[in-house]
């Protein structure tokens, strides 16, 4: 079973996440930030991941610490659940449209971890959510999962559509990259023999 349960507690947040990679696409629990929960739900639904989240954040400050720490914890869960990455596809990409917006995601589950983006979000906020937190989430996730992610915006004018397309593209590419390929058996998808 490719799953993990991790807790992260700081003076700013108290987070517990259970991740099941080969799930039914269900998000249970909430972070307390409505738009962010909407994006995490998209990640689960289109990636086929089950995520149960318990989260307390310092919302009297803003959503920054919560979004970043969820990224850290969720990324760490993927790192733990994938273990040595034996038999996975490793690379995948997806281009996802959301009305006028199209975002392309390219992923390498290669152990190095890095986030690179050309996504431009035209507004500073979507509801109460600061759009700069999109980068904070993906940066934290990639550093802690060992996954390299490139997000490129091909077009788009509506901030909600652009961000939602980014999360959906991320989900679909991640699903493809962590998928087991029976032809590989338990081989590590690297000429070095290791991805961790």
Compute φ and ψ for 10, nearest 5 degrees. -130, -175
The CATH number linked to 170 is 3.30.230.40
Q: Look at residue 129 and tell me if it is in a domain.
A: yes
Do the domain assignments include residue 193? Answer: no
Distance, CA of 151 to CA of 94 (rounded, Å): 10
Alpha helices in 48-158 (DSSP H): 64-82, 133-145
| Whole-number pLDDT of residue 193 | 61
Q: Rounded distance, CA 121 to CA 140, Å?
A: 19
Domain hosting residue 44, numbered range: 3-184
- Average pLDDT over the chain, rounded to whole? 94
Assigned domain for 170 exists = yes
> 194 lies in a domain?
no
Q: What's the mean pLDDT in 26-46? A: 97
Angle among Cα 124, 77, 8 to the nearest 5 degrees reads 70
In a domain, 195, yes or no: no
How does pLDDT run across 125-173, given as a tens digit for each residue? 999 999 999 999 999 999 999 999 999 999 999 999 999 999 999 999 9
Strand partners, 103: 96, 153
Q: Is residue 191 scored above 60 in pLDDT?
A: no
Q: Is residue 40 part of a domain?
A: yes
Give me the number of domains the chain comprises. 1
| pLDDT of the residue at 41 | 98
pLDDT in tens, 83-135: 888 789 999 999 999 999 999 999 999 888 999 999 999 999 999 999 999 99
What pLDDT, on the 0 to 100 scale, is given for residue 117? Answer: 98
Task: Identify whether 189 is part of a domain.
Answer: no
3-class DSSP state of 95: strand
Greatest CA separation found in the chain?
51
Q: Is residue 191 part of a domain?
A: no
DSSP structure class, residue 180: B
Helix residue ranges per DSSP H, the chain: 34-47, 64-82, 133-145, 159-178
Query: What is the reported pLDDT for 188?
Result: 67
């Amino acid at each position: 079973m490719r799953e993990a349960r991790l807790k992260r507690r700081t003076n700013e947040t108290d987070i517990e996440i259970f991740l099941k990679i080969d799930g039914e696409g269900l998000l249970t629990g909430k972070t307390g930030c409505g738009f962010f929960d909407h994006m995490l739900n998209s990640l689960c639904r289109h990636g086929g991941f089950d995520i149960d989240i318990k989260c307390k954040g310092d919302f009297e400050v803003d959503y920054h610490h919560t979004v970043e720490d969820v990224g850290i914890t969720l990324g760490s869960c993927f790192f733990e659940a994938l273990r040595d990455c034996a038999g996975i596809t490793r690379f995948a990409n997806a281009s996802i449209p959301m009305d006028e917006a199209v975002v392309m995601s390219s992923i390498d589950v290669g152990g190095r971890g890095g986030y690179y983006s050309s996504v431009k979000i035209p507004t500073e906020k979507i509801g109460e959510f600061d759009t700069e937190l999109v980068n904070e989430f993906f940066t934290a996730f990639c550093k802690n999962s060992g996954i390299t992610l490139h997000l490129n915006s091909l077009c788009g004018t509506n901030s909600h559509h652009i961000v939602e397309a980014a999360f959906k593209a991320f989900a679909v590419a991640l699903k493809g990259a962590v998928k087991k390929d029976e032809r590989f058996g338990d081989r590590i998808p690297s000429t070095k023999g290791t991805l961790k």
